[in-house]
């Protein structure tokens, strides 16, 4: 979208050039200087309008990129959650099957793990 500063700046620039040309043709130093001044004002205002347009476009693009990144992050999180829960269910089934098949070995392993944790927590005295 074109900024109003660009439109007004372009108009001032055109009128300033015209006034400067007419001043030069008529030999009027005042009109020539005023025309060049208006031309310079118009160029500055036009440049300001272009800078505002560019900044606005960049802000829009940054918002779009942030929105896309947010959506992708959500997709990755959903995928990681599903994969993790799948691994958890698979591990649960595997451990359950092993415990059901070898209950005494599972009991010995659980006891050894408990003893090891107790040593870590309390240490040897």
Mean pLDDT, consecutive 10-residue stretches, the chain (125 aa), reads 78 86 85 87 89 89 92 93 94 93 93 92 75
Quick count: other Cβ atoms within 10 Å of Cβ 82?
Answer: 10
pLDDT at 124 (0 to 100) = 65
Contact (Cβ atoms closer than 8 angstroms) between residue 46 and residue 25: no
Contact (Cβ atoms closer than 8 angstroms) between residue 52 and residue 3: yes
pTM of the model: 0.53
Contact (Cβ atoms closer than 8 angstroms) between residue 6 and residue 49: yes
């Amino acid at each position: 979208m074109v900024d109003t500063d660009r439109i007004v700046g372009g108009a001032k620039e055109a009128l300033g050039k015209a006034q400067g040309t007419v001043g030069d043709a008529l030999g009027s130093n005042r009109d020539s200087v005023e025309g060049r001044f208006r031309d310079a004002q118009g160029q500055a205002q036009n440049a300001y309008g272009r800078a505002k347009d560019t900044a606005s476009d960049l802000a829009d693009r940054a918002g779009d990129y942030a929105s896309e990144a947010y959506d992708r992050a959500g997709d990755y999180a959903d995928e990681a959650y599903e994969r993790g829960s799948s691994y958890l269910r698979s591990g649960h089934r595997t451990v359950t099957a092993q415990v059901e098949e070898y209950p005494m070995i599972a009991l010995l392993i659980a006891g050894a793990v408990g003893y090891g944790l107790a040593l870590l927590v309390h240490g040897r005295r």
